[in-house]
Structure 1
Amino acid sequence: MYELRYDTTVKAVLDSLPQAARVELREAMIRVCKDPYATTVPYGVDDGMTRHLVLSHTMAVLLITHIPAKAVRILQVTHLQIR
């Protein structure tokens, strides 16, 4: 299991998401923390660390690390405006 990490800026974005987007992202991040490579795709060049999670309400850029601990860091969250 990977530890989930994010900074205060990302937390502010997460807190501002509509309810449906927050629930969807929270459930997806639980799956990502169990197996980040099966639940995400490479972001840009596949360096094995920077990953992309695309959902119906949000997109997130993630950094997967193994040293010193296994962690998934949310670098950016974008809310997709559904019209």
Structure 2
Amino acid sequence: MTYRLHYDLAATAVHDAMPPEASEQPTLVLADVCDDPFGHSIPYGEDDQIIRMVITDHVLAVIMIGDTLKRITVLQISYLG
């Protein structure tokens, strides 16, 4: 089942401020995460199957996987340059 994507307000601001070529990568990867959260993310610290990371050439995003509501929440996004 496909998950819905939800951004924290601070993560939205960072993503919106990135250059277009940098913001495209996480947009595409996060779309893949919505279809297969565990196949397109890696554990963040201890693998609790809830908090995970998505890493691209320009971005590191911390996500939370909510199985009950089928929702992926972007908690933090960092532009790496």
User: Same fold per TM (> 0.5)?
Assistant: yes
Structure with larger Rg: 1
TM-score, normalization by structure 1: 0.92
Residue 77 (structure 2) aligns with: 77
Matched, 1:38 2:39: yes
Identity in percent: 34
Structure 1: tracts of 5 or more residues without a match: none
TM-score, normalization by structure 2: 0.94
Residue 10 (structure 1) aligns with: 11
1 CA distance for matches of 2:75 and 2:6? 9
Matched, 1:28 2:29: yes
Structure 2: tracts of 5 or more residues without a match: none
Question: Would you say how many aligned residue pairs link Structure 1 and Structure 2?
Answer: 80
Which aligned segments of 4 or more residues in structure 1 are displaced greater than 6 angstroms? Answer: none
Q: Structure 2 matches for 1:44-59, cutoff 5 A?
A: 44-59=45-60
Cα RMSD over matched residues? 0.7
Q: Deviations over 1:6-52 (max 9, x none)?
A: 12211111100111111111111110000010000000000010101
What secondary structure is seen at the aligned counterpart in 2 of 1:28? helix
